[in-house]
DNA sequence: AAAACAATATATCTGACGATATATTGTTGG
DNA sequence: CCAACAATATATCGTCAGATATATTGTTTT
């Protein structure tokens, strides 16, 4: 468990970076927050988050292509849910750090 | 501990997103990996990572301005170290997910 | 303490990528 | 076949990364 080779590090960093690039977008992050609770239809997300539908669809498309979410069609509606454990793990870390309990204002920075 | 208001969510997402944008860059990620072990001088980082000095200095500048690293001058050399617990927490999550022990190839995706 | 040298930082420019908005097309249910 | 919902295509625009040149800061030697 010592320092990895530069190549190994680069390979891991490249993969991690690909995930981070998808997460580093406020709309997508908020979408994933909601989806982390439970699955949602596009219409629900649109209403809950106030994102206009085409924008929403594009960002959902990014999440789909990158494998962070999966879809399920139920008649007219399409339900989205989180599909990536990696993404979920990062989301949980972020939640603990940035959405922590507002009663506890310990500034651990 | 139920669903936050949209405003709260947006505020948290905005802050988290700011961190993610800084992390979502392969060179910066690799830099932070090395700095997570111990502090390093610019010259050490340059040699260890094969990044040309001006590029390195620019990325270190980003990390500094965003408060992810801190510096200490020792004569001719400037030592960099990680300064943000938030960044460190995300780095640890990423390490566990993407740099896991190569002997254990469990694909938990 | 001044000159020469080494380490680090900054400025400027160019090219490429990513985001947004608008328009259009596809699909489902009645 | 019409209305509502969702996805996609396209054009425009801004932002960011990388390269080169240059500036700044500190150290060492005399």
pLDDT in tens, A26-62: 999 999 999 999 999 999 999 989 899 999 999 999 9
Cβ neighbourhood burial of A60 (10 Å; 0-12, 13-18, 19+): buried
Q: CB–CB of A33 and B13 under 8 A?
A: yes
Phi, psi of A69 (to 5 degrees): -130, 160
Interface touch B20/A15, C-beta < 8 Å: no
Mean pLDDT over the full length of chain A: 89
Q: What is the mean pLDDT of residues B68-84?
A: 92
Encode pLDDT of B19-48 as tens digits. Answer: 999 999 999 999 999 999 999 999 999 988
Any A CB within 8 A of B100 CB: no
d(CA B84, CA B93): 15
Query: Which nucleotide comes closest to B76 if you measure CA to C1'?
Result: D26
The C1' atom of D14 and the CA atom of A52 lie apart, in whole Å, by: 21
Q: For B60-75, how does the pLDDT look when each residue is reduced to its tens digit (9 = 90+)?
A: 999 999 999 999 988 8
At residue A101, the pLDDT reads 66
pTM of the model: 0.89
CA–CA min distance A38, chain B (Å): 11
The backbone torsions φ and ψ at residue A54, rounded to the nearest 5 degrees and listed phi first, read -60, -40
pLDDT digits (tens, 9 = 90+) for A56-109: 999 999 999 999 999 999 999 999 999 999 999 999 999 999 997 655 444 444
Q: Do A32 and A68 meet the contact criterion of CB atoms below 8 Å apart?
A: yes
* Chain C bases near protein CB atoms (7 A cut-off): 6-11, 18-24, 28-29
What is the model's pLDDT at position B107? 46
Bridge partners (DSSP) of residue B78 are B73
């Amino acid at each position: 468990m010592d320092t990895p080779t530069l190549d190994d590090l680069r390979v891991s960093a490249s993969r991690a970076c690909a995930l981070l690039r998808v997460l580093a977008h406020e709309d997508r992050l908020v979408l994933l927050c909601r989806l982390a609770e439970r699955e949602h239809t596009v219409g629900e997300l649109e209403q809950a988050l106030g994102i206009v539908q085409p924008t929403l669809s594009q960002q959902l498309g990014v999440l789909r292509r990158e494998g962070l979410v999966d879809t399920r069609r139920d008649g007219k509606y399409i339900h989205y849910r989180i599909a990536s454990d990696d993404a979920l793990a990062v989301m949980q870390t972020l939640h603990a750090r940035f959405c922590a309990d507002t009663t506890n204002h310990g500034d651990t920075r």
